[in-house]
Every structure is written in C-alpha cells, then in structure tokens.
Chain A
C-alpha cells in the first residue's frame, strides 16, 4: 500500500462524516424526546446547537476540497470523496429537520395541553432514527445489501405518515379546537418523513461508492 498520507486523509474524512452523522442523530433523537416530554428548554438548546452542525459540515467540505485539489483522486477514491460531500449535505439537512421538530415543540408549548397526544409520531420517529443509524452503518461498512435494506424501510415510514395524516385529520374534524395543534403534528410527521428520505439518499451514495452506479432506490411518494 502506497500513498499513506492520502489514505489517512480519506480515513479522517470518513471519520468526520461519522462525527457529523452522530451529531445529526443526536439532534433528531433529542428533538423527538423533547417533543414527547414537552421540554421547551431542551427544544431551544437543540435549535441553538444546530449552528455547530452547520459549521462541522462546512469544515468537512473544506477538507474534502483540499484533498481533491492536493491528491487528485481517481476511481473509487474520487467516488468516496464525492459521496462524502453528498452525504454531509444530507446529514446537515437531517439536523435541520430536527431543528424543525424542536421549533414545532416551542410552538406547541404555547397552545398545547399536557400530555400531548402524539399518536403514531413516536413510532415514525423510531423508524426514521433507525434508518439514519443503519444508513451510516452501511456507509462505514460499504455494505450494498444493508443499504438496500435500509431503503426498503422507507415505505414503512411513508405508511406511518399516512396514518398520522388520517389521525390528525380526524382529530381536526371531530374537535375543531385542535386544528392548530394537529397542524403541528402534521409538520412533525413531514419532518420525520424527510429525514427517512435523506437516509435513502445516503444509501444511494453507499451503493455508488461500491459499484460506481448511480441509482435512485426509493422514490418517495411525497
């Protein structure tokens, strides 16, 4: 094995992507937990901490650009760096959706009675978070089979979103006073659904790194 410095730069880059991944994952887990427990201070902290995630993303981007400029990567090295650039964009957006859920929490805080009636939302969140973990695992392991399996889980998230939609719509009809609150729940479900979609993007990149083929695995119906 030659090009030891370059190899180290590639490994460091991947480590950085994983650090960003764990920051995004924490933001999503926390935002859902804060929503469940109606913890508004926690929600505000999640919003404040998003800046660090954005910064981390730009740091990685800069590092990747320098590796491209200085090492002129080709073939699987090039695919790996380009994929890292794509994946960090998805991770940063996932964290934005977590921030969105935290904002919804704050808005609910002003209008909502405790306990909150979240219905299918926690189940949806569990699956979206599992997809995020599994997609990053597939990325580290360069595991195409795992990546495809993660994408399959997106259908379940979509079905749960349909269930949330039915549930909230029924609530609005039966109890017009809850329209505002139910609208926030719809937004929450939308954020979770987008997180799952971003995870399928990450999996598509994993497949690209390994096979060189760009394919859209799972077309969201939303």
Chain B
C-alpha cells in the first residue's frame, strides 16, 4: 500500500507525526462490499482521511463502475461528501487535511507525483448542493471553462451542445444573454451541469444536487442524471433515499459510529440495497429506524 501524507498546514505537523506513528488499524473486509463488473472508473483502497486530527474516513475501499450512477448515502457526518471530494482532489483546497491510501482513476493514481489537480478536476467535474452560476450570461457561464482552457473549436456549438445535454437548451435558447442568476433554481442547477459538461469531463461528481430544489426541478435533474449516465460516470451524494433508489445503479452506505468514523458498511447494486440489504445497519438506515 502506498502511503502519502499531505498537509498544507504546518501547525498540524505534530498531529501528522502522531498519525504516522500509530499502528495500522485492523481492516476486516466486509462481505457486503460488491465488486462491480468490468473495468472500474475509480478503484479506491484503504482510504483514510483526516481534517487536522479528526478522522473522517476509515479504511474505505470500493470500485466505482464506469458509465454508471453510483450513489453515496448515509447520515450526516458519515463521510460521504468527504469521500466524493477525494475523487477529484477537491479536499486539497482545505488546509490541514491528511490523506492515506489509494484513489486510482482508470488505474492512474490521482494523488501520484506530477499529477496536476486542475487537470484532475477538468476530467472529473463537480456539481454542488446549491446552484452556483457565475454572475454572467447563460452563454458565458457555459463557455467560461472552455475560454480559460484556450478552447479552439466553435464556442457556439459547444454552448448549444452542453445546454442540450443538460436538458436546458429549449428553455433558454431564446435569450442566452440573460444572466444565469435570473433562472429558476432547477434551471440554475442544470446550467451548472451544462457548465461542467462543457469541459468535456469523463466523470461528474454531484454533492446533493437536488437538496435546494423543488420536487419538479428535482425530478428533472434525476431524469438528466439517468440520461447522462450513458456517456458519463456519475457519483452522487444524496440524503434522499428514494432518489438514490431512482437514479443509481450502485449504492454505497457509509456510517460513523461510536468507534469508527466514516466507514463503508455496504456497497451493492441499488436494487439489492433497497429491497434486501445485507447489513442490519443498512436496513435500519434506509427504513428510517436509525438511532
């Protein structure tokens, strides 16, 4: 196992040393972790993560399949968003974090030396909980990444294609010059998806993409997620169990208990997960009888 310790905050040196010195925790592989068929998009193994001295992920290991939707579910504080953000090095931006273990994307170590985190984030895009369009026109919102990256193709085509794939084109094609902020919440979220698609990513990570949206806008995003999964690998964090059941092919259930923070309890095809979960803790969580 390769071990890297990353910390941008020198005041945490002590903590880092303490962590390095500790004996490796016993990792008991669970019988409830499925290995999806085919070459995985991500292969995660023995992943541990700390915010300062506070551990957020413990020995997480799973394969995320290509061109499928994988949902991460679990109660608040279970580490699902942290895990998601490990997949495109978004956590690098937080001071004082420490990461150990392996995150391989198409068998390349995304934390390996010489890997450019900006390129990682271009290929592995992200959509956030709250729609966050730039205070610019719809057109400029979508074209922004391409302009920054020195895109040489036809920008109009890129904008139209991205808006179409994000199922927003028909609603905005009449006025691409209006501000992205003038759109409804659901439209803004689809604009953010279009913006992510314009960078031609392979993977789209979504962190509770519908939690700020009304039910109709939510269903539109869910339809879009299903549609996009024919071309993209999608990983979505959600608090909404029914949403995970509706949109995903695989579901991972994470949990923090008194002893272990951010552990992966069960990972299985979604159909199995929601009809006959293998672990009682999964059953208790998805049937709303937690705690």
Interface residues of A (CB under 8 A from B): 1-3, 6, 72-79, 211-212
Taken together as a complex, chains A and B put the C-alpha atoms of A2 and B286 apart, in Å, by 12
Stretch at the interface among B173-181, B209-217, B269-277: B269-277
Q: Which residues of B line the A interface, CB within 8 A?
A: 241-242, 245, 274-277, 282-283, 286-291
Most chain B CB neighbours (cut-off 10 Å) among A74, A77, A78, A212: A74
CA distance A1 to B286 in the complex (A): 13
Partner of B275, one of A1, A2, A3, A78: A78
- Collect the chain A residues with CB atoms within 8 Å of residue B277's CB: 75
Q: Is the CB of A75 within 8 A of B242?
A: no
> Contact at A74–B286, with CB atoms within 8 Å?
yes
- Residues of chain A within 8 A (CB-CB) of B291 are 2
Q: How far is the CA of A6 from the CA of B289 in the complex (A)?
A: 10
List, sorted by A's number, 7 A–B pairs whose CB atoms are closer than 8 Å. A3-B287, A72-B242, A73-B287, A75-B276, A75-B277, A76-B287, A212-B276
Contact call B288/A3, Cβ cutoff below 8 A = yes
Which residues of chain A have C-beta atoms less than 8 A from B288's C-beta? Answer: 2-3, 6
Instruction: From A73, A75, A76, name the one whose CB has the most chain B CB atoms within 10 angstroms.
Output: A75
Is the CB–CB distance between A2 and B289 below 8 Å?
yes
Q: Are B274 and A74 in contact (CB under 8 A)?
A: yes
Interface centre among B283, B288, B290 (most CB of A within 10 A): B288
* Neighbouring B residues of A73 by C-beta, 8 Å: 287
A146: min CB distance to chain B, Å: 21
Whole-angstrom CA separation of A51 from B274 in the bound complex = 37
B222, chain A: closest CB distance, angstroms: 15
Question: How far is it, in angstroms, between the C-alpha of A19 and the C-alpha of B60 when the chains are bound?
Answer: 49
Residues of B within 8 A of A74 (CB): 241, 245, 274-275, 286-287
A75 and B290 contact, CB distance less than 8 A: no
Our pick among B241, B275, B282, B290 for the contact of A79 (Cβ within 8 Å) is B275
What is the CB-to-nearest-CB distance from A97 to chain B, in angstroms, rounded to a whole number? 32
Q: How far is the CB of A171 from chain B (nearest CB, A)?
A: 51
A1 to chain B: closest residue by CB: B289
Contacts of A78 in B (CB 8 A): 274-275
Nearest first, the 6 A-B pairs at minimum CB distance are A212-B276, A74-B286, A75-B283, A74-B274, A3-B288, A77-B287
Given A72-B242, A74-B241, A74-B245, A79-B287 contact (CB < 8 Å): no
Query: By the criterion CB–CB under 8 Å, are B289 and A3 in contact?
Result: yes
Complex: A74 Cα to B289 Cα, angstroms: 11
For the complex, what is the distance from the CA of A79 to the CA of B276, rounded to whole Å? 9
Q: A2's contact among B241, B283, B290, by CB below 8 Å, is which?
A: B290
B248 vs chain A, min Cβ distance (A): 14
**Smallest distance from the beta carbon of A141 to chain B beta carbons, Å?**
20
